[in-house]
Amino acid sequence: MRKFSSSFSRLLMLILIIIVCVAGALVALSSYYFQDIYAGSLYETISSGLREAENLYVLYDIGLIDYSTLYSAVNPVLNMDGDFYMLLSPSRSVIAYTESAAPYFTGGTLTELLDAADTNASAIVRKQAGRKTALIALRKTDTGYVLAGRPMRTLSGAAISFRNRMLISMGVLLLGMVAVSAFSARRAVRPARIITEMAGRLVQGEHVTLPENLPGEEIREIAIALNQMSATVSQAIGDLKCEKETMALILEGLSEGILAVDEKGCILHENAAAWKLLGGGETDACRAVMAALRENTDKEHWNKKYNADGRVLYFAMSRLPSESRLGRNRGSVALIRDITEQERLERTRHDYVANVSHELRTPLASIRGLGEGLRDGLVTEEKDRQRYYNIIVEEITRLSRLVNDMLELSSLQSNPAAFEMERVDPNELVYDLHDRNSSLFTEKRIDFRRALPQEPLPDIRSNEDRLSQVLTIFLDNARKFTPEGGEVTLGAEKTADGVRFYVRDNGIGMDEETRRLAFDRFHQAERSHSGKGSGLGLSIAREVLQKMGVEITLTSALGQGSEFSFVIPDQAK
């Protein structure tokens, strides 16, 4: 719009210049035209002067005026136009003349004029005397010759005066037109400048209001239309900003990462979750997702998994809508999820099913084989039949224990209710467990000890049955993995946080991998030492203590034994 106003001003000035040039040309033409008109008027004036001189000559000839009167008439005191006269007799002798005319009649000029009058009784000629030029009218009468003239300087002066006046008038008119045009242009361009400024602010997203009292009906209509458009655009921009902020909050609130790139691979948007999952912008995970976004761009949707640093990332990618006008790809967006735990649970589920199948298949196969042998009468000795019956009972007992452990673990995992809490004496609990398990350790020739402080431990608030269950699992585990001659200790002690229970042995211990998998279901280390366990004991112990909000601590080293412990907060009243 500024260019428009400048162009409008330049156009207006160009029009003025053209007008001035045309006016100058008209002045020049007018001056020449005036000169021709004035020359015609001058011829008429000279002819009139010639008639007056002729009348004077007649009056003098008939004696009505004397010579002095005649002389005074042809030589007036005031002669502004410089007119001159000459009266001659038929014999061409000068009777009277105007003294200022002498220069025009020197030499043979007068003779030439009189000869011209003899040839043509009446004529008007132009004569030059030095730098002066005059028009001379002459006529031959019955009484003699009469000449009348006027200098041409009068004609030139009048023409120059006319031209100067016209030029001054045109200059004044030009200045007036320039002033009026400048004022008019400024007044005409002002609304355009206001609209230009408001349009620029509108483009920047501001809400603007034009005054509706601008000059001109059309300008006012434009102002009203722009105000309506400004209100609509402002509302639309506000809605877009609100929607953008809402979308940004939603994307930032997602636990999944969102990463969008354009067709050149430049990042358009990423939320905090994406930055956290990818570990920044220069990691292998980030390069992997960028490479995945550049793959299969001809598809609408595709996905990929990425494994790194013990994590599994899942990239679900989609192509952004193409620009219909240009028909080109606008980029892609990826949904990034950490499915490490999901993958682990899936593997656990598969392992769980496989382990259950394996644990059930062995006793069932044994029972089936023994039962078929008994059915077919292959076992004839009573002693052998009793041994078969005992093996079948043992396998059924093992199956029953396995099923019970599985039901127990499932019940703990699916039941959200907490255990019923009661007052428990740690001293009595340790004594009772030691007495009940002493014979088992004695059978395996393992030294089973009890460790309690001299001062009685304070009561705790917990579930006694579940504590006994957990400690019994720890004791069974220690008995399985402690060789003959070894030592197992069941103890409790006071700590700053409460009462700490522990089971310590000096058995075979665990390596790092075994410690990591110790609480997984059906995990059994060193099956040669595990006996006929189900592999669910430590999983049940962990679930029980998690129900009570207590954490298990495992300390172990290969060949140096293991220690399982947990702390029950002191909440006795």
**Range of 270's domain?**
254-338
Do 82 and 113 share a structural domain? Answer: yes
Place of tokens 């035209």: 33
Inside any domain, residue 116: yes
Domain boundary among the residues 145, 160, 175 is at 160
Listed range (205-209, 279-283, 459-463, 521-525) with the worst mean pLDDT: 521-525
Inside any domain, residue 525: yes
| Number of domains composing the chain | 4
What percent of the chain has a predicted confidence (pLDDT) above 70? 72
pLDDT digits (tens, 9 = 90+) for 309-343: 777 888 777 777 766 554 556 677 878 777 777 77
pLDDT digits (tens, 9 = 90+) for 135-163: 788 888 878 888 888 887 655 555 566 66
Do 354 and 329 share a structural domain? Answer: no
Inside any domain, residue 217: no
Do 424 and 314 share a structural domain? Answer: no
- Predicted local distance difference test score (pLDDT) of residue 488: 92
* Dihedral (CA of 487, 490, 494, 496) sign: positive
Do 134 and 9 share a structural domain? Answer: yes
Q: How far apart are CA 416 and CA 191, in angstroms?
A: 76
Tell me, rounded to whole angstroms, the distance of Cα 209 from its chain centroid: 25
Do 393 and 330 share a structural domain? Answer: no
The alpha-helical segments, DSSP class H, found in 254-339 are 272-278, 284-294
- Predicted local distance difference test score (pLDDT) of residue 572: 47
Domain boundary among the residues 413, 438, 455 is at 413
Q: How far apart are CA 80 and CA 434, in angstroms?
A: 159
pLDDT at 96 over 80: yes
Do 323 and 350 share a structural domain? Answer: no
Q: Identify the CATH number of the domain in which residue 156 sits.
A: 3.30.450.20
Do 146 and 9 share a structural domain? Answer: yes
Do 515 and 427 share a structural domain? Answer: yes
Domain boundary among the residues 380, 413, 446 is at 413
- Predicted local distance difference test score (pLDDT) of residue 144: 83
Torsion of CA 76, 77, 81, 87, to 10 degrees: 20
Rounded to 5°, the CA angle 470-572-474 comes to: 10
Do 367 and 259 share a structural domain? Answer: no
Name the burial class of residue 500, with classes exposed (0-12), middle (13-18) and buried (19+) by CB atoms within 10 angstroms of its CB: middle
Do 477 and 552 share a structural domain? Answer: yes
- Predicted local distance difference test score (pLDDT) of residue 221: 74
pLDDT at 502 over 90: yes
Inside any domain, residue 206: no
- Predicted local distance difference test score (pLDDT) of residue 158: 58
Do 452 and 312 share a structural domain? Answer: no
pLDDT digits (tens, 9 = 90+) for 398-445: 677 667 666 665 665 556 555 678 888 999 999 998 998 898 888 889
Inside any domain, residue 260: yes
pLDDT at 36 over 70: no
Q: Report the chain's mean pLDDT, rounded to a whole number.
A: 76
Inside any domain, residue 173: no
Do 38 and 99 share a structural domain? Answer: yes
- Predicted local distance difference test score (pLDDT) of residue 80: 72
Residue 548 tokens read as 């009570």
Bridge pairing between strands 132-140 and 553-557 = unpaired
